[in-house]
Amino acid sequence: MEFKQAVGNRRTIRYFKSWQPVEAAKIQKILEAARLQCYHGNAQLTRKAVVIERGKTPDDIREQMIDALYNQPQVQQAPVFIVWAIDMSGWEHLRENLKELIRVRALNSTHGWSHEFIETAVMPTPDFNVMAGDRTFAEWLTAFECGLSVGTALLAAVDEGLGTSLVTGRRGQIREILGMPEYVTPTQIQLVGYPAESPEAGGQRPRPPYEELFFDGSWGTPLARDEQVAEELKAAGMIQPDGPLPWRAAEIRALSQMFGLPE
């Protein structure tokens, strides 16, 4: 699938074919894509995930997870959960990770990088070595870094013809169920499976106008949107018809009857 089409096709899927497992290779491809996303300081061990699969993970773990995710219907249906987490202990390797980037010639003296620079400038500076400064900023940045992977994982799932979505849950309970140490915090849980609803899921969701999100040179100055570019993106499948599509109400009714859910 072309990148623009994958971006355009992504929806938060809320109805899954519970009876159709996801191929192991597809789960791996999602995780491989997430693994390749960029990292601040190449701190690669700060974002991790636990995969829960129906029929593979013990039933009691999966059932406890469903409870921790508020028993939402899409959670009951989805055959795979990817529990994304931040691991603050991953920052302990920052020095070695940066030196590794010098070794592979990603960081070069053209930009002032040397082993001495890492020791005397980077490691003592909280803007780079976030664990040297304010913990709140460190956790915020780590969560941001984790989000980069999750965003990629969502698109990778779409690229594999799967439905996917994110849910939150009771973090303390999830940590306990999955045996996470205290320096690990579960973030969003990615549900993966074959969609029981149509891939359009009723149409593209409402979004704020472009000009309210992006600014030109200073905060609040709208960046002009070129409508010709928007038309090109429609032709490429990235911008799609807004929801609700005409048949959406009937689709929801049929799905609710199939799953025994309130309409």
Partner 1 sequence: MQDLPPSFTELPTVQRFVQDLETKDLSEAERHARLALLAEFCAFVGKTPDEMVNEIFDTETRKYKKRNFYTARVKEFSAQIEGSWSERTARGNVIRNFFIANGRRLPNETPDWL
Q: Site residues (CB under 8 A) for partner 1?
A: 18-19, 71, 73, 76-77, 249-250, 253, 256-257, 259-263
Nearest to partner 1 of 53, 100 (CB atom): 53
Nearest to partner 1 of 87, 251 (CB atom): 251
Contacts 24+ apart (CB under 8 A), 126-132: 128/41, 129/41, 129/91, 129/94, 130/40, 130/91, 131/88, 131/91, 131/92, 131/94
Shortest spacing between CB 260 and partner 1, in angstroms: 4
Rounded CA separation 196/91 (Å): 40
What CA–CA distances, in Å, run from 126 to 34, 111, 138, 146, 168?
26, 19, 9, 19, 30
- Pairing type for strands 80-87 and 163-167 reads unpaired
Q: For 37, left (φ over 0), alpha (ψ -120 to 50), or beta?
A: beta
Nearest to partner 1 of 20, 89 (CB atom): 20
Shortest spacing between CB 50 and partner 1, in angstroms: 23
Shortest spacing between CB 249 and partner 1, in angstroms: 4
Nearest to partner 1 of 77, 188 (CB atom): 77
Shortest spacing between CB 136 and partner 1, in angstroms: 25
Nearest to partner 1 of 19, 140 (CB atom): 19
Shortest spacing between CB 20 and partner 1, in angstroms: 12
